[in-house]
Amino acid sequence: MTRIFLIGFMGCGKTSVGKKLANLLHFEFCDTDAEIERITGKSILEIFETDGENFFREKEHAVIAELSQKTNIVVSAGGGSPYFFDNMQRMNQAGLTIYLQATPKMLKQRIIKRKHQRPLLKNTPDDELETHIAQLLHQREPDYKKCHITVEALNITARKLEKTISDYVSTKLLITSH
């Protein structure tokens, strides 16, 4: 696999484990949100506030299309990206997709201190955050589950992820050689 796409809800660890995985594999790393910020010169929050979510999703779609052409890359895809346009299908066709699955409770714990930076969560009261996350997760999970591999996000490391990828590729090669 020359392209690995990490998908999952915001706060599941895509960027942190993705950077380490890319380093381990000697691949380039790209976070779609960071790339959109670089291209537009605005933060994700600013984009949502000034240009709207549709503008953001169009930029995200274009970035995923562009990254789908690169080789030797680990991509941390935005939490909503698999849910919009044909992004999930494109990522599945271009490379290996890995869903970092997490519970709403775990996600709340990871997000709560920086929720003001998350456009879809910033106005949610803290005591309603877990419920709101659960609703968004329920909406997006059918698309997340179209991935090649699902792993538990809790305690995932780059080494564990590398082994999971290796096992997956070995199994696929074994199946196709028969």
| pLDDT tens for each residue of 55-81 | 999 999 999 999 999 999 999 999 999
A 10 A CB-CB count for 40 gives 16
Tokens standing for 118? 């998350």
* 103-113 pLDDT, tens digit each: 999 999 999 99
Residue 175's pLDDT band (cuts 50, 70, 90)? confident
Confidence band for 172, pLDDT divided at 50, 70 and 90 = confident
Residues in the chain: 178
Give the mean model confidence (pLDDT) for residues 119-134. Answer: 97
pLDDT digits (tens, 9 = 90+) for 7-57: 999 999 999 999 999 999 999 999 999 999 999 999 999 999 999 999 999
**Positive or negative, the Cα torsion across 131, 135, 140, 141?**
positive
Query: Can you tell me the distance from the alpha carbon of 55 to that of 42, in angstroms, rounded to the nearest whole number?
Result: 12
Each residue of 155-165: pLDDT tens digit?
999 999 999 99
The per-residue pLDDT for 1 is: 67
Give yes or no for residue 135 having a pLDDT over 70. Answer: yes
pTM as predicted = 0.96
Average pLDDT over residues 75-104: 98
Which pair of tokens denotes residue 63?
């970035």
Q: Are 170 and 2 in contact (CB under 8 A)?
A: no
Domains of the chain: 3-169 (3.40.50.300)
Query: What is the phi/psi pair of residue 6, to 5°?
Result: -95, 125
What would the pLDDT profile of 139-153 be if each residue is shown by its tens digit? 999 999 999 999 999
Name the E strands within the chain: 3-7, 28-31, 73-76, 96-101, 149-152
Tokens read off for 166: 């290796």
Mean pLDDT of the region 93-122: 96
pLDDT, greater one: 82 or 1: 82
Q: CA 178 to CA 165: how far, in whole Å?
A: 20
